[in-house]
């Protein structure tokens, strides 16, 4: 098996912006997971290293001319390695200051059995109509950090494989089980499995510290502007409020959800879970 240095030396040089693989990379950034091969585009050494560490299949690596050293720092086994001139590389990636390496990767597919584990109390993050990919990625990262068993995306939530969401997750999206469900389907699954649904609301009647997050629970975070949709609030077992002593009307969705997940981890640690 060739090492990183040998792979860099044998990378195929592509000069055209219209090369089929370059076009596939560009399309994967714009429409993640929808191409012929269902791949997702990632950019940067950090995310490439996280993808490798997470066991994702790396199909194609694109390295900008002069940045080949990244292949020595990240021990990646890829189906193919392509070297692109600076202008061609910049035309295919999304960031304003390209980091010199990008890749097309196969993403994990999770089911409900990963979201609701047989052992231990489920802690499920529910994203209800979030549109800011930065918030989505931040919440996925916080969910992994604070021991959530998975996340459910309700209709209207931005694609978790959006490039900005992937970057904000810092690789957590590669590992945390995530599934997309309709509200009715999710509600049925929660009831069947004995999982309480809590929704965050500014006018919630349950203070966060008294929410009882030790047992199986799903926590709903709503749209950045409109909050948790009315139909989700109606399905919730309780509305939880994060009390703020300062003169602010509401918290950013990513911050509010992260606080809630931290509190769940704190209560579970106190309960010996």
Of 58, 83, 106, the residue that ends a domain is: 106
**CATH number, domain containing residue 91:** 3.30.1330.30
State whether 182 and 236 are in the same domain.
Answer: yes
Q: 95 and 194: one domain?
A: no
In this prediction, residue 8 carries a pLDDT of 52
Across the range 58-63, mean pLDDT stands at 95
Q: What is the pTM of this model?
A: 0.90
Residue ending a domain, choose from 49, 76, 106: 106
- 30 & 69 share domain: yes
Range of the domain at 43: 4-106
Residue that finishes a domain, picked among 76, 106, 136 = 106
**CB atoms < 10 A from the CB of 5, how many?**
12
The pLDDT, as a whole number, for residue 174 is 96
Cα–Cα distances in angstroms (integers) from residue 121 to residues 35, 112, 117, 235, in the given order: 37, 14, 8, 20
Query: Is residue 221 within 8 Å of residue 154, measured between CB atoms?
Result: no
- For residues 136 and 9, the answer to whether their CB atoms sit within 8 Å is no
Pinpoint the alpha helices (H) of the chain: 4-9, 20-30, 45-53, 70-73, 86-92, 112-115, 133-145, 163-169, 183-192, 230-235, 253-270
Greater pLDDT, 36 or 178? 178
Count of structural domains, the chain: 2
| Cα 204 from chain centre | 27
Residues 218, 198: contact at Cβ < 8 Å?
yes
- Are both 99 and 176 inside the same structural domain? no
The CATH number covering residue 263 comes to 3.40.1280.10
Domain identity same for 99 and 175: no
Residue whose structure tokens are 């714009």? 30
pLDDT tens profile 180-221: 999 999 999 999 999 999 998 877 888 888 888 899 999 999
Given a cut of 90, is residue 252 above it in pLDDT?
Answer: no
| Cα distances (Å, whole numbers) of residue 163 to 19, 47, 208, 237, 240 | 21, 11, 32, 34, 31
Calculate the alpha carbon distances from 144 to 137, 147, 177, 258, 262 in Å.
11, 5, 9, 10, 11
| Residue scoring higher pLDDT (273 or 74) | 74
Could you tell me the pLDDT band of residue 1, with boundaries at 50, 70 and 90? very low
- pLDDT tops 80 at residue 249: no
d(CA 197, CA 73) in angstroms, rounded, equals 44
């Amino acid at each position: 098996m060739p090492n990183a240095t040998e792979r860099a030396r044998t990378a195929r040089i592509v000069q055209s912006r219209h090369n089929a693989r370059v076009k596939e990379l560009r399309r994967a950034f714009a429409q993640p997971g929808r191409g012929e091969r269902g791949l997702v585009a990632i950019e940067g050494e950090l995310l490439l290293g996280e993808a490798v560490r997470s066991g994702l299949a790396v199909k194609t690596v694109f390295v900008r001319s002069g940045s080949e050293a990244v292949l020595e720092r990240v021990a990646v086994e890829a189906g193919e390695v392509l070297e692109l001139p600076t202008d061609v590389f910049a035309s295919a990636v999304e960031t304003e200051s390209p980091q010199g390496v990008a890749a097309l990767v196969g993403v994990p597919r999770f089911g409900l059995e990963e979201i609701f584990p047989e052992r231990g109390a489920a802690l499920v993050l529910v994203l209800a109509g979030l549109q800011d990919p930065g918030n989505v990625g931040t919440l996925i990262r916080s969910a992994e950090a604070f021991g959530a068993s998975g996340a459910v995306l309700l209709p209207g939530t931005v694609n978790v494989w959006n490039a900005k969401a992937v970057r904000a997750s810092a690789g957590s999206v590669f590992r945390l089980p995530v599934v997309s469900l309709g509200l009715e389907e999710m509600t049925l699954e929660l009831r069947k499995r004995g999982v309480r649904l809590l929704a965050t609301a500014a006018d919630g009647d349950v203070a966060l510290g008294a929410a009882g997050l030790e047992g199986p629970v799903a926590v709903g975070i709503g749209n950045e502007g409109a909050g948790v949709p009315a139909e989700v609030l109606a399905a919730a077992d309780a509305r939880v409020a994060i009390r703020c002593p300062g003169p602010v009307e509401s918290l950013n969705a990513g911050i509010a959800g992260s606080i809630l997940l931290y509190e769940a981890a704190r209560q579970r640690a106190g309960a010996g879970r």
